[in-house]
Structure 1
Amino acid sequence: MNITIAIPAYNSAATIERALDSALSQIFSGHYEILIVDDGSEDVTPAICLDYEFRFPEVIRYIRTDRAGVAAARNRLVSEARGEFITWLDADDEYFPYKLQTNFDALRANEGSPDLTMSMVSYYANNDRVHIGEYLNDPLKHVLHGELRAYLWSTMAHREVYAAVGKFDTMLSRGEDADFLIRFILAGGKIVPAGATPQMRYFFTLKGRSGEHAEEMLITFQQRYASHYETVGDRQKYLARRYWQIADYYRRNEQWDDMWRCRGLAVKHDWDEFFPKSLKLLSEMR
């Protein structure tokens, strides 16, 4: 079996060595390649990637493109992948040594499943151990509500899954992975859990996160999947929580008008939950 570890990168000089080292350190019974698509980085990411490609030419391939966004980079990765199976690694995260084997073993154990099958590791590590598997009883609801956050690096699927579901949406500046996973589930795709221990570490930061992109994603999903949001329920609570999160992105970027606008929308959608928070904020300002 051959697997492609697909890495989209953009201005990742500070973290991509950690990601590549973790990919090179996989303990896996088959063969795999590491494919990097650099989405027009303006730092020294190209130099780092070329150095790794020079040192590990049998394993690593590096492709540089003009800046087109992460969805376009993912589409290029799928089209260039030589592996029978595709998994993902963000340039600022890292695998633990048995990540590939864990994903692959889960797929092999479900060979009799429907054609559209994806394995998703059950846990990843952040500051705490995060359990993905608990959301797989109703994956559509939990992806729509942002609880199963559609991190592609937790998944592995046959390359034909990507041909069947279709390309990543290049109109989305953010959330292209969630959109793909929603379309996968709606097409009858099955997600199978993989492993019982964390298989990667996710490094989360609010720095540089765009409130505009997050709000654009929220509005697009509400329009595109409106009937499904109505079906899974709790839409107002989800909107309240999400607008509060987006307000924090605006706060980090000192976009105060948008911060207060989104906090107002959060309160509007779920007054009972967010009114106490608003009172607390007002008391802190006095």
Structure 2
Amino acid sequence: MTRPVVPVSVIMPAYNNAATVRRALSSVAAQSVAPMQVVVVDDGSADESAQRAQSCAALLAPTELVVISQANAGAGAARNAAIALAKGEFLAFLDADDEWLPEKLEHSLAHLAGADILFVSHDMDVQSKVGAVVPMDCAVHFNRARDPFSALMRRGFVATSTVVARRDAVLAAGGFAIHLRAAQDYDLWLRLAQNGRFVVFPGAWTRYHLNDSGITANVEQRRLCSLMVLHRNMVGLYGRSGAWATVILRTAIIHYEAASAHIGRRQLGPALAALLRFPYCLAGTLLLFLRGKSTPGGAECR
């Protein structure tokens, strides 16, 4: 039975993912509807990621496979390079070490039917290196929220490999901020959410694979970038109920998560340092918010 081809370009950055990229692309090939295009950007890998991806061309048919290589510039730059080559009306994001369940695209496109909906996301399963699977109920945070943007600002509940977005909306928002070495995806979802509606629907249609090599491994870098994302996007809170509480809570969560990550690695000194930085960072953040300023910086919190 021939699968219908849908106007979706799959955006996949790859960095030293030779061991997993075929699994990711196989999950695209197994979709109940076929995306018109997959763009894989090898971000300066030292392994055979690009070659392994290219070997999946026949597997993906009738989907067009485009594989390009670039000097290492980070996942955000790799995604932007893929977006520049995208032909589809919609962009579906999938990291090269994650995978989709077969009806992921079909369900996502159904929820994108409203013209004012800029992107959709859903629940996911998180699989550890030893194979243990933990379900992540992301939709509950969305469904409980009176104001979805404020809820997303307080705590990120949109994972990149779950997102399907309108290409014109992503381009209008400027794509991924390449100066951020972490949280570029969260930053983009917030910018999109300021400009239109989004939906997080139930159903774990993505499996996220944990590893130690990703950007999440650098705790301090993630803390700083998360603060920068808050500073860049808190202007969207003006006029919303509970804006001040959202800024305070988000700043607290950033530092709590950093401390928890350090404690998980038995790094008690850095954990204490993260907690001690909280009052200083909160004061600087609230001052920016009071002045009505949004900044791509974050030097106040270093």
Measure, in 1, the Cα distance between the counterparts of 2:244 and 2:12. Answer: 33
* CA displacement 1:135-183 (0-9 Å, x = unmatched): 33332223222242x3232222222112222221111001111111111
Relative to the length of structure 1, the TM-score reads: 0.79
Report how many aligned residue pairs link the two structures. 261
Equivalent-residue separation in structure 1 for 2:244 and 2:222 (angstroms): 21
Match of 2:40 in 1: 36
Distance 1:238 1:129 in 2: 23
* Residue 153 to residue 41, structure 1, CA distance change in 2 (3 Å): same
For 1:6 and 1:88, how far apart are their aligned partners in 2?
Answer: 5
1:50 is matched with which residue? 54
Q: 1:81 to 1:239 in 2, by over 3 A?
A: same
Paired position in structure 2 for 1:124: 124
Query: Hey, what's the Cα distance between the residues in 1 that align with 2:162 and 2:48?
Result: 27
- In structure 2, distance between residues paired with 1:31 and 1:218: 32
* 1:117 to partner: Cα distance: 2.4
Which residue in 2 is equivalent to 1:282? Answer: none
- 1:13 aligns to what? 18
Q: Report the counterpart of residue 222 of structure 2 in structure 1.
A: 214
- Evaluate the alpha carbon distance shift between residue 241 and residue 219 of structure 1 in structure 2; reply closer, same or farther with a 3 A threshold: closer
The 3 A distance-change label for structure 1 pair 191 and 206 is same
Structure 2: gaps of 5 or more residues: 1-5, 127-132, 283-302
Aligned partners of 1:13 and 1:48 also within 8 Å: yes
Tell me which of 144, 147, 151 is aligned to 2:153. 144
Amino acid across the alignment from 1:176: Q
- SS of corresponding position for 1:6: strand
Q: Tell me how far apart the structure 1 counterparts of residues 188 and 102 of structure 2 sit (CA, whole Å).
A: 27
What amino acid maps onto 1:46 in structure 2? A
Question: For 1:9-41, what per-residue CA distance to the aligned partner results, in whole angstroms no more than 9, with x for missing partners?
Answer: 11112322221111111111x543221111111
1:154 aligns with 2:162: yes
SS in 2 for 1:198: strand
Amino acid in structure 2 at the alignment position of 1:260: L
Alignment partner of 1:134 is 2:146: no
- Give the equivalent residue in structure 2 for 1:88: 93
What does 1:123-202 correspond to in 2, within 5 Å? 123-126=123-126, 127-136=133-142, 137=145, 138-148=147-157, 150-187=158-195, 189-194=196-201, 196-202=202-208
Shift of 1:62: 0.8
Match of 1:191, SS state, is: strand
Distance 2:119 2:189 in 1: 10
Alignment of 1:237-248 (within 5 A): 237-248=249-260
Q: Name the SS for the 1:128 alignment partner.
A: strand
Shift of 1:234: 4.7
Q: 2:45 and 2:260 mapped to 1: Cα distance? A: 27
Distance 1:56 1:198 in 2: 23
The aligned residue for residue 102 of structure 1 is 107
Hey, what does 2:286 align to over in structure 1?
none
**Equivalent residue, structure 2, for 1:281:** none
Deviates more, 1:131-140 or 1:38-47: 131-140
Distance 2:265 2:85 in 1: 36
Q: Which residue of 1 aligns with 2:287?
A: none
Secondary structure of the corresponding residue to residue 4 of structure 1 = strand
